[in-house]
Amino acid sequence: MQRNFQPAVYIMASQRNGTIYVGVTSNLGQRVWQHRDGVADGFTKQHGCKMLVWFELYATMEHAILREKKLKGGSRRKKLAVIEVGNPAWRDLFAEICA
């Protein structure tokens, strides 16, 4: 098992009600850092999604992937509702996961 293995589903945003990205990872801190620093080319770099606005931790990667697929398959309105329930102020949660 890899070090710091903790399956998670997360949402990155460019700003409140801006562009959002749903992803899954086994190391949330490292992955969010990659998005924030733009180390990998792709959607989040292109659209400036640097704020971690929502995440859920899972016991297994299988469960995390199922949740990610459900979120990605839903409407933008449903994704925004998930953020609003868990983080109504749209705070950047990066500092909380790295503490």
- The answer as to whether 45 is a domain residue is yes
Task: Report the sign of the C-alpha dihedral through residues 72, 75, 77, 78, in that order.
Answer: negative
- The answer as to whether 1 is a domain residue is no
CATH number at residue 13: 3.40.1440.10
11-15, 38-42, 56-60: the lowest-pLDDT one: 38-42
* Res 1 pLDDT > 60: no
- The answer as to whether 65 is a domain residue is yes
- The answer as to whether 3 is a domain residue is no
Domain of residue 64: give its range.
8-98
Q: How far is CA 50 from the centre of its chain?
A: 10
| Count of domains for the chain | 1
Per-residue model confidence (pLDDT) at position 41: 85
- The answer as to whether 63 is a domain residue is yes
Q: Tokens 């850092």 map to which residue?
A: 33
- The answer as to whether 67 is a domain residue is yes
